[in-house]
Amino acid sequence: MIRLLPVAVVAVWLLSLRDVNLRAMGDLGLLQVLPVLFWVALGLLVLGFCLALADRRIGNGWLLAYVLALIGMIHATPTLLYPELRYSWGWKHVAVVDAMLRHNGPVPYAPEFDIYDQWPGFFQVNVLFLRLTGLESPLGYAEWAQPFFNVALIGPLLLLYRSLTRDRRLIWGGVWIYYSCSWVGQDYFAPQALAFLLFVTVIALVVRQLPTSALPRPGPDDRSWPVGRLLAVLLMTFAIASSHQLTPVMLITALAALSIPRRNRRVTGPVLLGAAVITVAWDATVARPYMAENIKGMLRELVSPDANVTSGLYRLGTAAPAQIFVAWVDRALSGAVLLLAVIAILYLRWTRRTGMPLLLFSPFVLLAANSYGGEMIFRAYLFALPAAAFLISALVFRRGHRLRWRTLAVYPLLLLMLGSLLFAYYSKEAMNSFTRQEAAAIRYAVATAPTGSQFVSISGAAPGLDMQYDQHYRTHFNLQRSFTVQQQARDLRSALVGVTESNASAPTFVIVNRAAIADNRLNGLFPAQTLDHLKTVLPKMPRFTLVYRNDDAEVYRYDPPMRRGS
């Protein structure tokens, strides 16, 4: 029965997705529209995993099946439900790949996007894949990036945990807890997803070589790096350094932490030195323009550690009440994960020799150095999670009497973790998902816009707005938070005049779409009535013409007056 449960759960899950009404999503996104059958299947999956983990007759293959089913239910559900690529940043990265493919390398005339030219690793890998396969765009397979990256991460996690113990309950329990608590959402079609996958792989290979590794060694003192494996690790480090700004710094910090015990330095030293040299060399050459422009700001943040730590925690004032609740759920899950991991370190002495405590705390060192746009505290949690998940698994799945009953006692905890994750993961889907009508409207605007045109949107929640970014300009409304009808109308007219005057030589396209309106409602960008006024004001503004409309989007075109002598 336990062996067949993953298959049955997957069948019930797929059956539950047949009649989901995406139009009914509100301030809690998919949580409001997923049917009861979905939640029943998820609860049965967690229960089956607990029972399988306590049954020694169940092989590792079936435990893998449970983990794959969990990844499918969490990460493939949006892919199966949505007609278009999820998340606006995923669309932006598709646009970057498209531009690099057209230019066969760095993209000129793209000042807002030049950072991607300086860290092009992820994008160039996709360009190479497109050339080898003959595909024209990554848009089709980008929809499956989240399931892909999460499945790919199973291997490095297993390698890491198997380097620490041979107890399969701790190993698979750690893997399960990782996927149940990874709510930060950096696994979409993005450089961070690839860089994080490589980060965990490098750390796993390093930990495997440490003297505390549980894996058998060829000789009692043979902890030196095989040349081929060391070159592979350095190659992955180079891929990280060329793809993302933060991850190589996180890698250096983690390796430095693992180097604190003297016994580890023979293993960590070469990799730490290589990572530092590669990162510094990359930042001093290819990424030099960005570093030169931002170095003063980085230095200022070094002397403001308190502001860096709290910068990501005070953004809830204007959000919808449901989103404020979700934000506190996220914070509660993160705090609980870190607290349980610390308890494991204090309670289980053997975990202190594994290097996991060092990997747990090392990402938070960077909190004092940089706010990373207010996201550093959440990114630190992400990089600490592989270590935290193993420590929690060691705490809750450790050996003892009445193993099955003790494992079942963990069932409510795993349900609570997974439920909290889904609050974070699914609650913003009203703005993260896009309809075919929205995508069609923006494709029309991009396809018909002359070179040098400007695109104006309510927010960044617009699919494909960055396509052809080397030929057009993009901006968002810059409105005051006016609360009276008269002030809102006046601010809208002023904003519209401002954006058109900023590009007086080519048309301006103003796009109002469903997801951007949802973004405003969820995050409180400006008062809700403002958007109603926008639809009233736009048709009355001089030289604005409605050029495209469907159920989910409107596109207005502004043609600047002809100058004398033109």
For the segment 389-431, what is each residue's pLDDT rounded down to a tens digit? 999 999 998 876 566 667 778 999 999 999 999 999 999 999 9
> Helix (H, G, I), strand (E, B), or coil: what is residue 32?
helix
Split at pLDDT 50, 70, 90, the class of 80 is very high
Q: CA nearest 245: which of 210, 286, 217?
A: 286
| Cβ-proximal residues to 235 (8 Å cutoff; 6+ apart), any chain | none
Q: What pLDDT digit, counting tens, does each position of 329-349 carry? A: 999 999 999 999 999 999 999
CB under 8 A, 24+ apart: contacts of 326-332: 326/28, 326/423, 326/424, 326/427, 329/420, 329/423, 329/424, 330/183, 330/420, 330/423, 330/424, 332/420
Q: Give pLDDT, residue 36.
A: 95
- The domain limits of the chain are 1-86, 87-142, 149-399, 434-558
**Predicted local distance difference test score (pLDDT) of residue 300:** 66
Select from 498, 518, 519 the least CA-distant residue to 510: 498
Amino acid code (one letter) for 411: Y
pTM metric for this prediction: 0.92
By the 8 A CB rule, do 193 and 382 touch? no
Give the whole-angstrom CA distance, residue 142 versus residue 484: 43
- Model pLDDT, residue 487: 63
pLDDT value, residue 402: 63
Selection from 177, 188, 195, 167 nearest residue 88 by Cα? 188
Across residues 371-392, what is the average pLDDT? 89
